[in-house]
Amino acid sequence: MYQGIKISGFGGQGVISAGYLLAQAGMMEGKEVSFFPAYGAEMRGGTANCSIVVASDEVSTPIVSTPDTAIVFNEPSLAKFEPMVKPGGLLIINSSLINSKATRTDIKVLYIPCNEIAGELGNGKVMNMVALGAFAAATGAISIDAIEKALPKVYKKLKPEVIELNVKALRRGAEIKA
């Protein structure tokens, strides 16, 4: 099993922490993992991205040039990462903020209104968890349980009720069918 993942969006959308969370969850599930954040001149409002590998064997390189899955939270990220997705791979598009449609026909595409769903749950900030839930359910690369268990390890300062909200968002995302 090998799953190379790219997550991309505006700084502040939880791109980097979502990636860190996936790596932590994968590790806790006993898989080999790596996490590499793009660390350019990113700032709040700019575009940030990160690469995650979750695999059953040793991770040869942390650099993901042809992702099995790309999760894009904003318009510029769609333009940048859609062409890179491996044929047969998965593209998760945050349709709350992205109006464009994917042009490729050789990949699976999920349109998820992440911000709206998170808003309905009570806090727009958990939009990244909606996407992770959908990713986990669609690929089976990481279990929802593992992500749940990893949450307090990554978000060390969050109150239990906020963790609970993140879990809700994850589960809601997992209900979305590919």
Tokens (6 digits) for 18: 């979502």
Q: Taking the complex as a whole, how short is the minimal distance between the CB of residue 3 and another protein, in angstroms?
A: 15
Give the footprint of another protein on residues 86-145 (CB under 8 A): none
- Near another protein by CB under 8 A: residue from 11, 62, 76, 119: 62
Closer by beta carbon to another protein, 16 or else 98: 16
Helix/strand/coil percent split, the chain, to 5: 40, 20, 35
When asked if residue 56 is in the footprint of another protein (CB under 8 A), the reply is no
Span near another protein by CB under 8 A; candidates 53-61, 71-79, 83-91, 129-137: 53-61
The closest of 134, 118, 120, 94 to 166, measured between CA atoms, is 118
Q: Taking the complex as a whole, how short is the minimal distance between the CB of residue 75 and another protein, in angstroms?
A: 24
Cβ distance 117 to 176 under 8 Å? no
Span near another protein by CB under 8 A; candidates 24-32, 76-84, 126-134, 169-177: 24-32
Amino acid, res. 161:
E
Measured distance CA(114)–CA(126) in Å, rounded = 8
Measured distance CA(20)–CA(24) in Å, rounded = 6
Span near another protein by CB under 8 A; candidates 18-26, 95-103, 127-135, 163-171: 18-26
In DSSP terms, which residues pair with 94 in a beta bridge?
A: 112
Closer by beta carbon to another protein, 116 or else 148: 148
> 88 in the Ramachandran plot: left (φ > 0), alpha (ψ -120 to 50) or beta?
left
Binding site for another protein (CB under 8 A): 20, 23-24, 27, 32-37, 39-41, 59-63, 65
